[in-house]
A and B are shown apart, each in its own frame.
Chain A
Amino acid sequence: MDKIRLATVWLAGCSGCHMSFLDLDEWLIDLAQQVDVVYSPVGSDIKDYPDPVDVCLVEGGVANEDNLELLLKVRRQTKTLISFGDCAVTANVPGMRNMLGGAEPVLKRGYLELAEHSPQLPHEPGIVPELLPQVLPVHQVVSVEIYMPGCPPAADRIRATLEPLLRGEQPEMIGREMIKFG
């Protein structure tokens, strides 16, 4: 059997889920022998999301145009998409800007009202991605196969989710061991 092509993606999140992934410690060595890490901010230096990918862990909500573009690509080119962590599953802390309503009030709040020196709105088309009106959970934008909530999901839960996939089975996301928000 060909090795599973594994990717991890980091959208609007703090990277904590990826840090938790790194907390898998020595199991990462086992994992590396069973998969090809084809794209990952912590496990690969490849810049373009490859095609096809078997399993992708998607951290973070969808907050800006870059996130959206990458996520749509991930969906097109991935068999099993895992919504990885609370930001991906619920929009979580990045989503707290949604209460302000729209991108403009958020930018004004952050870059004008709270600025101590040279307040100005960031505007560099093509360099700084535009904010979407709301930060959305991943499944509100594309379909998702597996949900792994948690802020972050503990390393043992990441392992318990990936292990069945390595055997070609689906993990059962039930009970306190597998479901944890916050």
Chain B
Amino acid sequence: MSVKTLKIDGKDVAAEEGTMLLQAAQDAGIQIPTLCFLAGLTPAAACRMCLVEVEGSHKLLPACVTEVAEGMVVQTHTPKLQGFRRMNVELLFAEGNHVCAVCVANGNCELQDLAIALGMDHSRFPYRFPDRHVDISHDQFGIDHNRCVLCTRCVRVCDEIEGAHVWDVAQRGEHCFIVSGLHQPWGEVDACTSCGKCVDACPTGAIFRKGSTIGEKERDRAKLEFLVTAREKHQWTR
């Protein structure tokens, strides 16, 4: 196994071949903002929050799916990148219907956290106010598409960790939404094991436990970490 040496934000970093920049940076104590990334799941590079500047590349690269290479020179927090990230979060807020005041995830939301971290005090883009739906046909859970940022964590966690593949992405562009089963109400999808991993993976309040109200959503991320560690390292520790 070979080791690659590179520079991230001026810092010398050594990482195993095949490591993604996001991980290499994190190991070096450099936190790159993420939204769709969730450790243990295949990276999707959907949200573009982790875009970084790599010398010699004419475009920005998502750190979650870019492998380290020998001699790479990477910048992760330039004003240009931070500007794009803020714009990205503003667009996410403007795209859906994110009414924090009435959301289960208020105060415990990765989208809110990003807004704060990037200094977003308002969105410069006009809100779209799309007509989206809420599905509460499942016994225990609900999905509110108004709050969905299409990170696809639910799709991936259900497919890769639970192995049920209840979720997928339907339609294109502005009509894109997370679909359950064969476009059935969630409660009618036989494949769903009601494990709740999608609730734990969801960064916002889009997928929630029924009966929880404003600011009450809690996630058991440790459960996901436990399963991934058990599967990959055969260590059943929690």
Interface residues of A (CB under 8 A from B): 83, 86, 89-93, 95-96, 98-99, 101, 134, 137, 139-140, 144, 147-149, 151, 173-176, 178-182
Contact = CB atoms under 8 A, between A and B. Distances in A.
B69 interface: no
Contacts of A176: 116
A93 B130 contact: no
Contacts of B106: 181-182
Given A180-B116, A182-B101, A182-B106, A90 B131 contact: no
A137 B102 CA distance: 17
Nearest to B126: A140
B126 A181 contact: no
B131 A93 contact: no
Contact of B99 (A83, A92, A149, A178): A92
Contacts of A92: 99-101
A147 to B, nearest CB: 4
B130 A137 contact: no
Interface string B107-130: 100001001100111110011011
B101 A89 contact: no
B107 A182 contact: yes
Contact of B129 (A98, A149, A175, A181): A98
B64 interface: no
Contacts of A173: 119, 121
Between B93, B107, B122, the greatest number of chain A beta carbons within 10 A of the residue's beta carbon is seen for B122
Given A86-B100, A90-B99, A90-B122, 10 more contacts: A92-B99, A92-B100, A96-B97, A99-B129, A137-B122, A148-B121, A174-B119, A181-B115, A182-B100, A182-B215
